[in-house]
Structures are given as C-alpha cells and as structure tokens.
Amino acid sequence: MIVTMCVPGQVVWTDQFSTLLSYQDRRIIDDERLSIERPFTKDWNLHIRKVKHSDQGTYHCQLNTVPVKAKTVNLRVEVPAKIIEHLSTQDVTVQENDQVTLVCNVTGVPTPDVTWYRHVSGQRGVEKQSEFPPGTDKVGVNGEVLVIHNVTRYCGDIYECVAFNGVPPAVNHLIKVEVQFAPEIYLHNKRIGQDEGKETILECTVTAFPHAQAVWTRNGNEIRTLSQKYRLEIYDEDRHTITLSLRMFSIERHDFGTYTCIASNKLGEDSESMILYEYSAHIPTTTTTTPITTTTTTSLLSRNTDASVLRPPYLEPDTPNSIFPRVEGRGHNSKPINTYRPITYPDPRILQQSGEGGSNGKVLQSNMGSGGVSGVASLHCSSIFSVVILCACVLL
C-alpha cells in the first residue's frame, strides 16, 4: 500500500508514535515491508506491503524546510471476518426440553455481521460452501449467539453461522445439533384379521434417539426367532425411525390374541398393543328369503376353501400395496426374489390412527451490541409445524 507522497527536500516519514520510519529514500526501521518509492523526482511515497491491522494509524510526511512543511495521512486497515473455531460451539447433543446455546465467535474490522441458517434434514446434504442448498432456512441475523429454548426432536439439524463485514471472503461454521428423546410407537392398525393356516405380518414403527431396543411380546413373553414359526425383521425408515416387523407362518388357533410392541432407551419406554383375530369368525351373517320358507345361512371359510372371490390370499410382488421382507441396509420397498406377502385385513370398525401435530415455535432476534460484542438471537422451538418444516420458527 502506498500511503502518500511529498515534494523534494530532506524528507522523513514518522508514524503515530513519532517513530522515524525513513530519511530521504532510506528505510530507518527493520521492517522490510516498508520502502520509499519515487516514480517521479518530486515523489517520496511510503510503500507498505502485506498490510496488517497493527499498521493502522496516522502517518506524517515532513519536509525539513523553514518553516517546516508536513502532510498527515490516516490509514484505516480493514480485516476480513474470521471465525475462531476453538471458541465456537462444536457439534452438540442435548435432551428434549433442554436449552441449547450455539456460539459463533468472530473477529474482523469492521465488526462482521453474523447470520444463522438452518439446513433442514432430509433434503440436500450440507457442505462447507458459500452458496446454500435448497432446504436452508434463515433463522437469525446479526448475532454471535443463537439460543434454542425448549428443544424438541424437530430442532435436530445442522446450523450454520455466516460472518461477513464487506471485506471478502465471507466465512462460515457448521454445528450439528442432535436431540435425544424417549421412544414413541405408532401402529398403523390396532386390529388385524387372518385365517388359520395363513401367515400374517404385524408391524410397529418406533421413533427414538438414541435408537431404541424394540421387541414384540405375547402374554408378557418376548417373541424370539428360535423356531420356524416367527421371523423378525427391522427396517430403517430414517435417521431416528425403524419399523419392527413380526412375520407369523401358518397361524394356529392359539396364535390369535393380543401382541404388544415394546421399545425402550435410556430416556424412557413406550408400548402399544395389537389384536390378531380369526377373520372367518367375524364374517357377517346373511339371510336368504323365499315366498315359501326363510333360511338363515352363515358363511364360514374353512382352511381349504377358495377365498379368491371374497379376497385374494396373496398380492403379487409388483403390486403397490404389497410389503416384502426387508434387509437391513436396503430400502423399505426392497424385496427378495420370489417373495410374497399374504393380505391382512384391519377390522373395518376400527379407524387407523393418524399422526399427531403440534404448535408453532418462536424466534427471538436481537442486533449486535456496542463494543464489537454481538447480541443474542433466540430460537424457541416447541414442536412440529408441518410435514416439510419440522421445527417452525416465527419472528417475534
């Protein structure tokens, strides 16, 4: 950086501390970044290379004449934003209903603005880059600190702070927030009907973090796959959700009854029960009337009766509604070759359960304070808001 120039004569440069920097065209101090350049005869330019923030201040060019002539130059050095990693929050794990504080410690001249973004899970992956992918929500601005109150599982995502003060480049820092919560079990059906001799599948969906230990029980006893009667399979639905599937082969009369799915982790336990009943015993009675006599007949399907007219016993593998045994590491809809699933029928009198919603969250935002200390942006995240935005944020 060239500070200024002076007219010919005995010329000296001094800094704000009256330190003699140069005399004529010779450098006096040991700092090799400084030199005197004279593109023209009357020029005495002070050239400072690799400018530092400590170089900022007032410089004086003095011509030793009578009277003495001098020129003053004020040098202001701008410093790009920088994030101090060891003073900033790293990846953090909290429990549901706790409070979490995210800190992004930044420096720079002028003082950088800090903007917070949240990268919504299930969409494009997040990498350290300057352009933000789809699924990125802006949750706060101008604050080195982001506080999330009343944390729920829907607040678990990757948060990014971006600091910029007008001096390129902008810098960023990623913080992964994971929220631990007790298991919750969801059953698609509370009652399932099937005939003796057929097979059926009981499924329960478990959401938990850390992952829960899930089992099926009957009469208080855990069902194990030690015999050819049962087969247990686990499906990975997403990062916090699994489906535990119990396949039962060749159902016998004593197999009908109540089955319970139990899931537990270090934060708690949940259980839901499902009833498997004999479908044939629940077929309604039909009445046939003639002018002479009235006959009442009850249709019962035996084990060998062809039921294809009433309901097909199997779905083909390519049928959209069929569900196949899944293998861990493969998708829910993946299927082994030549595998079929028997149809099971929920009780028509029992409505399927629906998922539960929740209320909106809040965001409280404040600007940077004086003295280069940032203010606090506060995010109140209470529950699920919608299918896409799992943790809604509303500006106060």
* β-strand pairing of 136-141 with 171-186: unpaired
Residue 170 belongs to some domain of the structure: yes
Both 91 and 175 in a single domain?
A: yes
Whether 90 shows a pLDDT value over 50: the answer reads yes
Residue 386 belongs to some domain of the structure: no
Residue 295 belongs to some domain of the structure: no
Both 274 and 198 in a single domain?
A: yes
Place of tokens 């003295």: 371
- Segment 204-216 shows an average pLDDT of 95
* Highest-scoring range by mean pLDDT, 122-136, 203-217, 311-325: 203-217
- Amino acid identity of residue 30, one-letter, is D
Whether 159 shows a pLDDT value over 60: the answer reads yes
Both 37 and 173 in a single domain?
A: no
* β-strand pairing of 375-380 with 143-149: parallel
Both 84 and 71 in a single domain?
A: no
Q: Show the domain range for 162.
A: 80-182+359-380
Total residues found in the chain within this entry = 396
Residue 352 belongs to some domain of the structure: no
CATH code where residue 110 lies: 2.60.40.10
User: What is the DSSP annotation of 127-140?
Assistant: -S-SSPPTTEEEEE
d(CA 71, CA 124): 58
d(CA 332, CA 173): 35
- Amino acid identity of residue 186, one-letter, is Y
d(CA 267, CA 134): 34
Q: Are 323 and 237 in contact (CB under 8 A)?
A: no
Both 325 and 207 in a single domain?
A: yes
Q: pLDDT for 172-185, tens place per residue?
A: 999 999 999 999 99
Whether 151 shows a pLDDT value over 80: the answer reads yes
Cis peptide before 39 (omega within 30 of 0): no
Residue 338 belongs to some domain of the structure: yes
Both 311 and 264 in a single domain?
A: yes
Say what the pLDDT of residue 227 is. Answer: 75
pTM to 2 decimal places: 0.61
Both 329 and 364 in a single domain?
A: no
Both 195 and 336 in a single domain?
A: yes
Query: What is the number of other CB atoms lying within 10 angstroms of the CB of residue 98?
Result: 13
Q: How many domains does the chain have?
A: 3
* β-strand pairing of 268-278 with 158-164: unpaired
**Per mean pLDDT, which range of 90-94, 222-226, 373-377 is the poorest?**
373-377
Both 268 and 322 in a single domain?
A: yes
pLDDT band for 349, please (50, 70, 90 cuts).
very low
Of the candidates 207, 184, 213, 209, which has an alpha carbon nearest to the alpha carbon of residue 93? 209
Both 231 and 156 in a single domain?
A: no
Both 103 and 71 in a single domain?
A: no
Of the candidates 103, 240, 80, 113, which has an alpha carbon nearest to the alpha carbon of residue 159? 103
- Amino acid identity of residue 48, one-letter, is I
Both 222 and 342 in a single domain?
A: yes
pLDDT averaged over the chain?
73
Query: What is the number of other CB atoms lying within 10 angstroms of the CB of residue 213?
Result: 13
Looking from the CA of 112 toward its CB, the CA atoms found within 13 Å total 25
